[in-house]
Structure 1
Amino acid sequence: MTVTDTLTPQEAFELLLAGNRRFTSGVPDHPNQDAARRTEVAPGQNPFAVLFGCSDSRLAAEIIFDRGLGDLFVVRTAGHVMGPEVMGSIEYGVSILGCPLVVVLGHDSCGAVAAARAAVADGSTAEGYVSDVIEKVTPSVLATNAAGRTEDADFIAAQIEHTVNLLMDRSRVVSDAVAAGRTAVVGLAYRLVDGTAQLVTARGIEVPAPVV
C-alpha cells in the first residue's frame, strides 16, 4: 500500500503544510532524499500531491515544503497560467497517479502579475509568447481593480483563485474527483521573505478562512 492510497485529501494538505512549517522554522527533515528513496521510487511514483506553481526560481517546491523524491507531482508555468498541456498534466496526477491533493501555488512579487498590472495601467507590451502569459493573467488584474483593491497581495490572491476556478470549471476529471471526496484543490500564496505558504482558497476540504 502506498502513501497516496492511505492519505485523505485533508491529511495530504496537513502533511504538505507540516513540511512548510519545518522549512520556515529552519529545521527541515529533508525526507525521502537519500539513495534508499531513489531506489524505492525507481519502479514507479505515488506522489501525495499535484503542485501547480509559478515558475519563479524562488519557489522550488520540494524545498519550501520539505519533501523529497516521489512526494510531489510538480507542474510550473510563469504566473501559474493554464493551457491544455498543464490541464492534462494535472489530470494525469489526479486520475492516473491518484493524488488526493492539488495545490495552486502563487507568490508575492510575481513578475507575471506585475507585467499584467503594467499592461492594464499603461498599455505596455511584451515580446514573443510572454505576451500570452500576460494576457492570461490580465482578467485577475481587471477583477482586482474593479473591486477597488490595490495591495500586491490582493492581485496575487485574485490570480490564485482565478486559477483554481478555471481548473474546477474546465476539468471534469478534477471537479468529479473533488465531488467524490477523492481529491481536494487548494490555493496557496507563498511569501518570499518568511517562506510561509498562506491559504487563499480551497475546494473539497475543511480549512480556516482565507488569511491573505
Structure 2
Amino acid sequence: MTDKIINRRTILTTTTLAAGGLLLGGGTAHAVTGRAGLDTRPTTSDEAWAKLREGNRRWAADAAIHPHQDAARRAEVAQKQNPYAVVVSCIDSRVPPEIVFDAGIGDVFSVRSAAQTLDPLVKGAVEYGPVELDTPLIVVLGHQRCGAVTAAAEALHEGTKLPGDLQRIVEALRPAYKRAHGDVDKMIRINTADVVATLKADKLLAPRIARKRLKIVGAYYSLDTGQVTRVA
C-alpha cells in the first residue's frame, strides 16, 4: 500500500513539473509562463539597449517584474552564462544595475568602480563579455549626485589630497573637473562620455565596434526619478 502511494506521488510530481514548465531545456517554460518576450536574449546591440530601456521604464514607473530571479533561472544558467550587456557603473549603493534595469540572474555583466573610473583591471573585466561571450552592448552608467565625483571636485577645488588610493580616483576625474569648471553634474556627464571614448578606443573592443558586433553607450541615472537617459 505504501509503495502505491509513493508511486502515485511520483507520477503526480512529474506531471506537475512538466505541466508547469519547470523541466528546463526547451521553450516549454517560457510558453507556459507567458514570458517568451522577456526570455528572448537580444542578439544585437540595439535590441540589448531596447531591452535595458524597457526594464528601466518599468523600474521608474514602479512596475518592476523582477525577471529571472527564481530557482528555475538559477538552474538554467548554473552551467553556462550568456549575458546580453555589460553595465559599467559606480559602486554607489543606490545604483545596482540589475534593479535599475529590472533584470535578473545571468542577464548582465556588472562592472562597478567609483565613478565608473577605469584602470587596467577594470578594463579587463569590461572586455571579458564582448571578447569571450560576444556580448553586444556596453553601457557606461553615470548617476546623479555621485559621491566619488563630488569628493574629487571638492579636493581639486581646495587643492587637497584624499588619503590612500582614493587620490587615484581624484586624478582620474581631474580632466572632467577642468572641463566642467567645477559643476559636479556636468562633471559626472563629461566623465561618463570620457569613459565611453576610452573604451571605444580599446584595442580589443574597437575592432568589434568597427564590425558592428558591439556598441558602447553612455547613460545617466537620476536618483530622483529612477530614469536612465542616454548622454553619449
- TM > 0.5: yes
Structural mapping, 1:21-36, within 5 Å: 21-36=57-72
- 1:157, 1:189 within 8 Å by CA — same for their partners in 2? yes
Equivalent residue pairs, number: 195
Code of the residue aligned with 2:169 in structure 1: it is V
Structural mapping, 1:132-211, within 5 Å: 132-145=168-181, 151-169=183-201, 171-201=202-232
Matched with 1:97 is 133
Matched with 1:114 is 150
Distance in 2, Cα, partners of 1:172 & 1:132: 23
Code of the residue aligned with 1:73 in structure 2: it is F
* Percent of aligned pairs sharing the same letter: 38
Q: Deviations over 1:128-173 (max 9, x none)?
A: 111111110111111222xxxx64331111010011111122x121
Distance in 2, Cα, partners of 1:30 & 1:117: 36
- 1:108, 1:152 within 8 Å by CA — same for their partners in 2? no
Distance in 2, Cα, partners of 1:137 & 1:144: 11
Distance in 2, Cα, partners of 1:130 & 1:121: 16
Distance in 2, Cα, partners of 1:108 & 1:135: 20
User: 1:125 pairs with 161, 183, 195, which one?
Assistant: 161
Matched with 2:104 is 68
Q: Deviations over 1:105-133 (max 9, x none)?
A: 11011111112211221112211111111
Consecutive unaligned residues in structure 2, runs of 5 or more: 1-25, 27-38
- 2:59, 2:99 within 8 Å by CA — same for their partners in 1? yes
Matched with 1:8 is 44
Code of the residue aligned with 1:32 in structure 2: it is H
Q: Which runs of 4+ in 1 moved over 6 A?
A: none
Q: Deviations over 1:82-123 (max 9, x none)?
A: 011111111111110211100101101111111221122111
Distance in 2, Cα, partners of 1:69 & 1:161: 28
Q: Deviations over 1:27-84 (max 9, x none)?
A: 1111100110000000111000001100000011111100000000011000111011
Describe the SS at the equivalent of 2:204: helix
Distance in 2, Cα, partners of 1:108 & 1:200: 13
Consecutive unaligned residues in structure 1, runs of 5 or more: 202-212
Describe the SS at the equivalent of 1:16: helix
Distance in 1, Cα, partners of 2:155 & 2:193: 21
* TM-score normalised to structure 1 length: 0.88
Describe the SS at the equivalent of 2:185: helix
- 2:153, 2:184 within 8 Å by CA — same for their partners in 1? no
Code of the residue aligned with 2:196 in structure 1: it is V
> Larger radius of gyration, structure 1 or 2?
2
Higher relative contact order (CA 8 A, sep 6+): 1
